[in-house]
Amino acid sequence: MVPDTEATAASVCGGILLAKNTSRVTAYGSIDELNSALGLVRSHNKAIWLEQILERLQQDLFIAGADLATPFTAKAVHTTTTRIQAKQVAYLEEQ
C-alpha cells in the first residue's frame, strides 16, 4: 500500500514535498488563512481609508506566503519569485 502523502505532506513551489507540520508549511498556511479573513473584512468594509490599509496588508501577505512556499532550492522559480522585503515585514508588524 502506498502512503497517503497528501495527508502528511505539502507540495511547495518546485515540486518539493515538505511535511505538513514543518514551520514553513504552518507559517504559509497561517498567512493564507489571515489573508482570507482580511478578504472577508474587505468585502464588508465601507471606509476608504481602511480599504487602502487592508489592500496593502493583503498584497504583502500574499508575497510573504508565496516567498515561504518557494524554497531557495526551487530552481525553476527561484529567479522569478518575488521575495518579501524588510520594509514589507516592518509594515506588517506595525499593522
Give the residue among 34, 10, 28, 33 at the shortest CA–CA distance from 68.
Answer: 28
Check residue 44 and give its pLDDT.
97
Q: What is the pTM of this model?
A: 0.72
Between CA 72 and CA 58 the distance in angstroms is 23
> Is residue 38 over pLDDT 90?
yes
pLDDT at 2: 43
Chain mean pLDDT for the chain? 79
3-state secondary structure of 12: strand
- Confidence class for position 67, pLDDT limits 50, 70, 90: confident
